[in-house]
Structure 1
Amino acid sequence: MFSLTVCDHVMIAHSFRGEVFGPAQKLHGATYAVEAEFRAPSLDAHGLVVDIGLARAELRRALDSFDYDNLDALPQFAGQNTTTEFMAAHVHGLLVAALKAGRLGEGGRRVTSLKVLLRESPLAWAAYEAVVE
């Protein structure tokens, strides 16, 4: 299996509901380093998994949909605890939609799985990985 990973970052504010979150129940900020790993069983005629420029552009487009926002105020996250795990799955969904729409070119149509990893710090991160159907 071949893979290509692109990285970017996003800055957000949010709060959590539930005693388990302790002080994170208060509004706080986070900066996530975001990695998207596209996987395909073979390379295209150019020797690529996907075009790196298109992959970077689509990751940026996904992150721009909530970068520098208070997630608590965005309708797409209403009533949701926007944990790192949840946000990894959210970005994954946006990138799968880009793959299906053809925005990552022909190579994107061969991607069979995608992993999105959000790093909260050098000590903690979460990811969501699934087959692209």
Structure 2
Amino acid sequence: MTPTPTYRLAVDDHIMIAHSLDDEFFGPAQQLHGATLHIRAVFHRVGLERHGVVLDIGEASAMLSRVLDPLRHRNLDEHPDFVEKLSTTEVIITYIAQRLIAELPEGHGLSAVEVEADENPRARAAVRMELTGR
């Protein structure tokens, strides 16, 4: 029996944002502060599509850029999609992953989308969304 390989394609970008985390839990981060998040989007596929790729790298990079553009150099406390939400790294990457999934073309054949954000060289968060039934 020949195993079926699973592939992944990752593309990277970054955003510079401002935000505050209005809860005592977050200590000094309750105050308005800036952050630069290094974002990695990972697209997963069982097997390859007919061109021998997971997804076109240029299209994957363009999709990530389009999703990040409305967040670049913004105060998320004032962004309509984050009003009355704590814009933690986990909430931000979930937002990005959901928008990437919405950008996928019909019949994409992907099995999952993962988004990871590095807050600094020693701290990162990730979310993986399975695309069953797509």
Query: Is the pair's TM-score, using the shorter chain for normalization, greater than 0.5?
Result: yes
Q: Does 1:127 align with 2:126?
A: yes
1:5 to 7, 10, 13: 10
Counterpart of 1:85 in structure 2 is 90
Question: In 1, distance between residues paired with 2:131 and 2:70?
Answer: 21
1:77-113 deviation per Cα after TM superposition (whole angstroms, max 9, x unaligned)? 11000000111100000100001xx1xx75xx11110
What is the identity percentage for the equivalent residue pairs of Structure 1 and Structure 2? 41
**Aligned-pair CA distance for 1:46:** 1.4
Question: In 2, distance between residues paired with 1:90 and 1:3?
Answer: 21
Structure (1 or 2) with the larger CA radius of gyration: 2
Question: In 2, distance between residues paired with 1:65 and 1:93?
Answer: 14
Question: In 1, distance between residues paired with 2:131 and 2:66?
Answer: 19
**Aligned-pair CA distance for 1:132:** 1.7
Structure (1 or 2) with the greater helix fraction: 1
Q: Does 1:46 align with 2:46?
A: no
TM-score normalised over the length of structure 1: 0.92
1:38-78 deviation per Cα after TM superposition (whole angstroms, max 9, x unaligned)? 00001112110000000000000010011100000111111
2:64 to 41, 59, 70: 59
TM-score normalised over the length of structure 2: 0.92
Question: Please, which runs of 5 or more residues in structure 1 have no aligned partner?
Answer: none
Letter of the 1:54 counterpart? E
Please give the root-mean-square deviation of Cα atoms over the aligned residues, in Å.
1.1
Letter of the 1:114 counterpart? V
**How many residues align structurally?**
127
Deviation beyond 2 Å, 4+ runs, structure 1? none
Letter of the 2:126 counterpart? A
Counterpart of 1:116 in structure 2 is 115
1:25-44 deviation per Cα after TM superposition (whole angstroms, max 9, x unaligned)? 00000000000000000111
